[in-house]
Amino acid sequence: MTECAGLDIGSRSIEVVVVRGGEVLSRRRAPTTFDPLSQVRALFPDGPPPRLAVTGYGRQLALTLFPEARTITEIKAHAIGAASLFPEAATLLDIGGQDTKAVALLPGGRVGRFEMNDRCAAGTGKFLEYTATAFGLSVADFAALALGGSDPPEISSMCTVFAETEATTLMARGVGQADIALGLHKAIVARTVAMLRRVGLRAPLAFVGGVAKNPCAVRLVAEAVGFSPLVPDEPDMTGALGAALWLAKTPS
């Protein structure tokens, strides 16, 4: 069996997963930066793998480097990846750097109804990144801070920029930082849960993408849907994994 590589070029990070058959051989990642193609080249020091599938918003771009590669959308790739990790999952939530997707999973990881955020960054990883920066914290520290909150104010603005203004106003009013941080996390979770409901949320729910590494987001999703989501060890590798597995099943 030949090795198949899945490459996921997202807005914030690039992941590679190599599989043989159903078995994962290696995983690597790099930040996207302003020069994603150089980053991709660096991820393949020994040249491109014999078979490659590309997903993510940069999938068309990658074809300039690897004209032989196949492409699939991140929606399909995440669905296949999530279904391989959690065959029982019925719904998928993927919150990445710039996109949020809710997908109803059909048997075998096929895609049923799906929703994706529109062009604005509200409800995506970017929202948390942006607001964490406004607090002068890393996203990890921002999540830790939020976990300590107990009485989150309602952040009504869904626009990333206005939410920051709202947070500043709340601070000036003396609301605790931890509570504001929690409120901001709740705002994005509320938005994504609304998307989940539109595709017909059913348990179990697989939660993947970079934001699934954020413990506060995971806790809030669980609270909002009423059960704990299934989160893989490396949730941001799901798209690359799905692309690789899809390729392994696709005749060359």
Residues that bind another protein (CB under 8 A): 57, 72-76, 99, 110-112, 114, 116, 118-119
Of 46 and 118, the one with the shorter C-beta distance to another protein is 118
d(CA 132, CA 198): 29
Coil, strand, or helix at residue 66?
A: coil
Least separation in angstroms between residue 73's CB and another protein is 4
Least separation in angstroms between residue 102's CB and another protein is 12
Of 73 and 131, the one with the shorter C-beta distance to another protein is 73
Of 119 and 173, the one with the shorter C-beta distance to another protein is 119
Of 72 and 167, the one with the shorter C-beta distance to another protein is 72
The radius of gyration of the chain's CA atoms, rounded to the nearest angstrom, is: 18
Cα first-last separation, the chain: 12
φ, ψ (nearest 5 deg) of residue 113: -70, 150
> Which pair of structure tokens corresponds to residue 84?
């391989």
> Which pair of structure tokens corresponds to residue 7?
């490459």
Of 76 and 219, the one with the shorter C-beta distance to another protein is 76
Nearest to 100 by CA among 86, 112, 114: 114
Of 111 and 216, the one with the shorter C-beta distance to another protein is 111
Least separation in angstroms between residue 148's CB and another protein is 35
Four-point Cα dihedral 78, 82, 83, 86, nearest 10: -170
Burial class (CB in 10 A: 0-12, 13-18, 19+), 144: middle
Coil, strand, or helix at residue 160?
A: helix
Least separation in angstroms between residue 117's CB and another protein is 8
> C-alpha angle 23/96/179, rounded to 5°?
125
Least separation in angstroms between residue 104's CB and another protein is 10
Least separation in angstroms between residue 163's CB and another protein is 20
Residue with tokens 């798209």: 239
